[in-house]
Amino acid sequence: MGAVNSKPIVGWDPGMGFGAPDSVRSANGEVPWASWRFVSSGYFNAMGIRLLKGRPFIDSDFHDKTHRVIISDSVANDLWPNQDPIGRPIVLWKGQGNRMAQVVGVVASIRDHGLDVDPTRIVYIANLGQWNSPVQLVVNGASSAAPIASLLRSILAGIDPKIPVSEVQTMNELVGQSLGSVQLNTALLSGFALTALVLSMTGIYGVLTYSVSRRTAEIGIRVTLGADRNTIFRLILLQGMQPIIAGVVIGIAASLALTQFLTGLLFEVKPADGISYVTVTLLIGATALLACLLPARRALRVDPVTALREA
């Protein structure tokens, strides 16, 4: 279990300028911006955030006059690219108070502002002094939220019955809250796309079925003149599939050109997803093949004399 001053992903986002006396970037007068979090020693384990360098917080870090901080690797790369940041001094709230601290660890960057944005620069401070904000407890458990909340309430009641536990949420709920509008847009877009796919498959089937059925007389004449039925069958399939193949090629090219507009709705999924393209192509191809196959087989079974009368 750990504690933090702001919920992951959907919590309020305090920010500060940061720098370092021995950083080339700071020497150039640049002041990068980062989020900051007051955390307990168990926060990183509870959140599953990997420690990349240095050490986690220890008890003495919460009592020493010198601030101890753990920074995300994005902060480390900004200040000390290709260098070891452990033990180096860092300036917190640069231009707003210039508090000095010492880096004791580096952790992996996380998407603390939401899964649809880039990983966040974060400075984690070994200090639980909460002036105006509640403490957010983070518990890593295998059960649902209700039993964990009940256990927390009983534990805190033994410490102080006046301590409330409210707004208990799972990480999945926080993620859903962050991506609610994006998920809605994606669901609507997926629904429209599926409807368009069904309509296109229905249209392809109807047009090709009608086109082949109109050739019944032609097929009868070819058979009467001695044409091989297998040759006619292959001819019908080839002629029916030619416009479908051309349409698929044009559609894929147009889709690849328009995928840039979908990038904002995707997370860890490439806009040009090969599986999606292959699946849709196979569905359209199978529909077209079926639309040519069934009427062609029926036409070949028609008596040539009957076909000639229809001509």
- Assess whether 116 and 157 both reside in one domain: yes
If asked whether residues 29 and 146 sit together in one domain, one would say yes
Shared domain for 37 and 126, answered yes or no, is: yes
What whole-number distance in Å separates Cα of residue 200 and Cα of residue 189? 16
Which pLDDT does position 47 carry in this prediction? 83
Tell me: pLDDT of 281 over 80.
yes
The torsion defined by the Cα of 45, 47, 52 and 55, in degrees rounded to 10, comes to -40
Give the SS3 label for residue 279.
helix
- Compute φ and ψ for 35, nearest 5 degrees: -80, 155
Handedness of CA 280, 284, 287, 290 (dihedral sign): negative
Q: Does 226 lie in the same domain as 111?
A: no
- pLDDT at 3 > cutoff 70: yes
* Domain co-membership, 172 together with 196: no
Say yes or no: 108 and 220 in one domain. no
The distance of Cα 43 from the centroid of its chain, to the nearest Å, equals: 24
Lowest mean pLDDT among 8-17, 151-160, 258-267: 258-267
The first and second tokens of residue 254, run together, are 């147009």
The reply to whether 187 and 142 lie within a common domain is no
Spell out the residues 6+ positions from residue 178 whose beta carbon is closer than 8 angstroms to its own: 9, 10, 114, 115, 116
> Angle, nearest 10°, between helix axes 180-213 and 171-178?
70
Domain finish residue from 148, 176, 204? 176
Burial of 111 (0-12, 13-18, 19+ CB in 10 A): middle
Residues 169 and 191 in one domain: no
Question: Among candidates 37, 194, 57, 51, which has minimal Cα distance to 123?
Answer: 37
Q: Element (H or E) spanning 247, and its range?
A: helix 229-258
Q: E strand or H helix at 158, and its extent?
A: helix 145-159
Longest dimension (CA), the chain: 104
Shared-domain flag, residues 132 and 184? no
**pLDDT above 60: residue 220:** yes
Domain-terminating residue out of 176, 206, 229? 176
For residue 237, give its domain range: 179-310
Domain boundary among 113, 146, 176: 176
Question: In the prediction, which pLDDT does 106 show?
Answer: 92
Whether residue 172 sits in one domain with residue 34: yes
Is 155 found in the same domain as 12? yes
- Summarised one tens digit per residue, pLDDT across range 107-165 is 998 887 776 677 788 888 886 555 555 677 777 766 666 777 777 777 777 777 777 76
Q: Kindly calculate the radius of gyration of the chain based on its CA atoms and give it in whole angstroms.
A: 33
Q: What is the pLDDT at residue 201? A: 79
Q: Quick check: 285 pLDDT over 70?
A: yes
Of 39, 173, 174, nearest to 113 by C-alpha is: 174
Pairing state between β 33-38 and 122-125: parallel
Measured CA to CA, the distance from residue 24 to residue 80 in angstroms comes to 8
The proportion of the chain whose per-residue pLDDT surpasses 90, expressed as a percent, equals 1
**Are residues 13 and 77 both part of a single domain?**
yes
Residues 40-90 have pLDDT tens digits of 888 888 888 889 988 988 888 887 777 888 999 988 888 888 888 898 898
Phi, psi at 48, each rounded to 5°: 75, 30
Give the count of alpha carbons within 13 A of 211, CB side only: 16
What is the rounded CA–CA span in Å between residue 23 and residue 91? 11
Q: Which residues is 2 bridged to in the sheet? A: 138
Total number of domains constituting the chain: 2
Q: What mean pLDDT is reported for the chain?
A: 77
